[in-house]
Amino acid sequence: MTKLIEQAFELAKQRYAAIGVDVEKVMAQLDGIPVSMHCWQGDDVRGFENPNGELTGGIQATGNYPGRARNADELRSDVEKAMSLIPGAKRLNLHAIYLESDKPVDRDAIEPKHFSNWVEWAKTHKLGLDFNPSCFSHPLSADGFTLSHADKGIRQFWIEHCKASRRISAHFGEHLGTASVMNIWVPDGMKDLTVDRLGPRQRLASALDEVISEKLNPAHHIDAVESKLFGIGAESYTVGSNEFCLGYASSRQTALTLDAGHFHPTEVISDKISTAMLYVPRLLLHVSRPVRWDSDHVVILDDETQAIATEIARHKLFDKVHIGLDFFDASINRIAAWVIGTRNAKKALLRALLEPTDQLRKLESEGDYTGRLAMLEEQKSLPWQAVWEAWCLRHDVPADTSWLSEVRHYEQQTLRQR
């Protein structure tokens, strides 16, 4: 098998060289592009603060596949298993509800010490961590509002939670030597016709201003805000809409988070990257797969996943665009979900880097749109898969679906015993 992969790789290298693409250079570049895996695929977004509580905030993990992680040790073991089957650089994205503490700690009182096991684990595995305040699944978010709440006390509780989260994020960055991107997403919105659409947005803007007022080292911590179109139970009005978040991020020069599932069904985030990059310093992507709604299905190698990766590669935005994942499928093996989704994100990045972009740009600038379309289509069937398999071998991970037997073995030995 290894020999066949090596032979196919040598031939593929020649095919790509013929169109001006240096495959070795592409592989080296791909080595340095981390994908931030989201911890919440492993336990259906329950966390360890109140794992038996209800998931609220207008999001849903559907399915009842056995073996979800019930504590941080199980989650870390599951993430390690998944990561061992995914080639290249990876990070882990944590939500605040994944804290570890012997005593109950409310969200406004979380501290770096509640994440010390995660930091030690990340050091051991040479991983960067990213972070998120968790503004959902809590009694004070039960009426649908958090940072934009009309009640000053409740609003202040969430402001304090986000401030505490920023300090934890900066702690990650300082101790792991790589900036933690902290994404603020609030579920705030209304189910039905909303009369005052302005007040909550004014409150959200000033709450966010208070949240980001403490100066933190940008080498340790990056702020990002995530918009949304609607949530379950908040179908008519979302405070943190796309326009709100783009306006906020561009006026405050924070990063903007684009989640593939947070727009109208015919809108795509791949086309928003070039616009947003004109106005914000950085983007965080939540690569996901919406099926009819923000369903957070596992990422597949579909046109939009490819278009997102291609857009980043064509404009050489790898130092400004942070690639994260956001899906949670409880109907299939959760480790397989991570492996499938993350491998697909990386396959899309590889294919994007193998594109003969300079030639395509030349055809376009010369007005040769026939040549542009012909080349775009022909290069889809070039032997990128041979490069992928060789890259997997170099990273000592399975090149083909043999990773699945490892996941099945882990399921029998570990997940089914839970």
Ligand X SMILES: C[C@H](O)[C@H](O)[C@@H](O)C(=O)CO
Nearer to ligand X, 229 or 352 (CB): 229
Contact between 53 and 182 under an 8 Å Cβ cutoff? The reply is: no
Nearer to ligand X, 288 or 310 (CB): 288
Coil, helix or strand for 384?
helix
Catalytic residues: 185, 226, 228, 259, 262, 286, 294, 296, 326
Residue 49 contact among Mn ion, ligand X, none, beta carbon within 5 to 8 Å by kind: none
- DSSP string computed for 9-69: HHHHHHHHHHTT--HHHHHHHHHT--EEEEGGGGTTT--SSSTTSPP-SS-------S---
Nearer to ligand X, 88 or 133 (CB): 133
CB atoms within 10 A of CB 352: 21
Q: Is residue 196 annotated as involved in ligand binding?
A: no
- Segment interacting with Mn ion (CB under 5 A) among 41-49, 100-108, 190-198, 283-291: 283-291
| Interface with ligand X, residue 286, by CB under 6 A | yes
Question: Nearest 10 degrees: CA dihedral of 76, 82, 87, 92?
Answer: -40
| Backbone torsion region of residue 231, taken as left when φ is above 0, otherwise alpha when ψ lies between -120 and 50, otherwise beta | beta
Q: Which amino acid is at 90?
A: K
Orientation angle between helical segments 23-31 and 2-18, nearest 10 degrees: 110
Residue 40 contact among Mn ion, ligand X, none, beta carbon within 5 to 8 Å by kind: ligand X
Choice from 174, 294, 389, 411 touching ligand X (CB under 6 A): 294
Nearest Cα to 270, choosing from 315, 204, 208?
315
| Interface with Mn ion, residue 259, by CB under 5 A | yes
d(CA 380, CA 120): 42
Coil, helix or strand for 368?
coil
Q: Which amino acid is at 380?
A: K
Tell me which residues in 300-359 interact with Mn ion (CB under 5 A): 326
| Interface with ligand X, residue 114, by CB under 6 A | no
Tell me which residues in 55-84 interact with ligand X (CB under 6 A): 59
With vertex at residue 286, the alpha carbon angle to CA 177 and CA 269, rounded to the nearest 5 degrees, is 130
| Interface with ligand X, residue 226, by CB under 6 A | yes
Residues ≥6 apart with Cβ < 8 Å to 388: 347, 350, 399
Choice from 13, 68, 90, 286 touching Mn ion (CB under 5 A): 286
Query: Which single residue brings its beta carbon nearest to ligand X?
Result: 185
Q: Is residue 296 annotated as involved in ligand binding?
A: yes
Coil, helix or strand for 260?
coil
Nearer to ligand X, 183 or 379 (CB): 183
Nearer to ligand X, 46 or 351 (CB): 46
| Interface with ligand X, residue 389, by CB under 6 A | no
Min separation Cβ 175 and Mn ion, Å:
25
| Interface with Mn ion, residue 44, by CB under 5 A | no
| Interface with Mn ion, residue 411, by CB under 5 A | no
Structure tokens at 298: 């596992």
| Interface with ligand X, residue 304, by CB under 6 A | no
Min separation Cβ 286 and ligand X, Å:
5
Tell me which residues in 313-332 interact with ligand X (CB under 6 A): 326
Contact between 218 and 229 under an 8 Å Cβ cutoff? The reply is: no
| Interface with ligand X, residue 259, by CB under 6 A | yes
H or E stretch covering 174: helix 152-176
| Interface with ligand X, residue 132, by CB under 6 A | yes
Q: Is residue 294 annotated as involved in ligand binding?
A: yes
Nearest Cα to 189, choosing from 238, 134, 228?
238
Nearer to Mn ion, 34 or 398 (CB): 34
Contact between 110 and 165 under an 8 Å Cβ cutoff? The reply is: yes
Residues that bind Mn ion (CB under 5 A): 259, 286, 326
Residues that bind ligand X (CB under 6 A): 40, 45, 59, 132, 185, 226, 228, 259, 286, 294, 326
Which residue ranges are tagged as binding site for Mn(2+)?
A: 262, 294, 296
